[in-house]
Amino acid sequence: MIYDVKGQILGFENTTQIEAKEIDELFVTIEDTNNKHISFTLINPYLLREYSFEIPIATKTLLDLNEKSKIKVYNIVIIQNPIENSFVNFLAPLIFNEDNKTVAQLVLEPNKYPDFGIAEPIKNFIKES
Q: What pLDDT does residue 11 have?
A: 82
How does pLDDT run across 90-126, given as a tens digit for each residue? 999 999 999 999 999 999 999 999 999 999 999 999 7
Tens of pLDDT, residues 47-77: 999 999 999 999 999 999 999 999 999 999 9
Q: What is the 3-state secondary structure (H, E, C) of 39-81?
A: EEEEECHHHCCCCCCCCCHHHHHHHCCCCCCCEEEEEEEECCC
The domain defined by 2-123 carries CATH number 1.10.10.10:
no
- Say if residue 82 is preceded by a cis peptide, omega within 30 of 0: yes
Label the pairing between strands 2-5 and 94-97: unpaired
Question: How many of the other CB atoms lie within 10 Å of CB of 16?
Answer: 14
Q: Domain locations in the chain?
A: 2-123
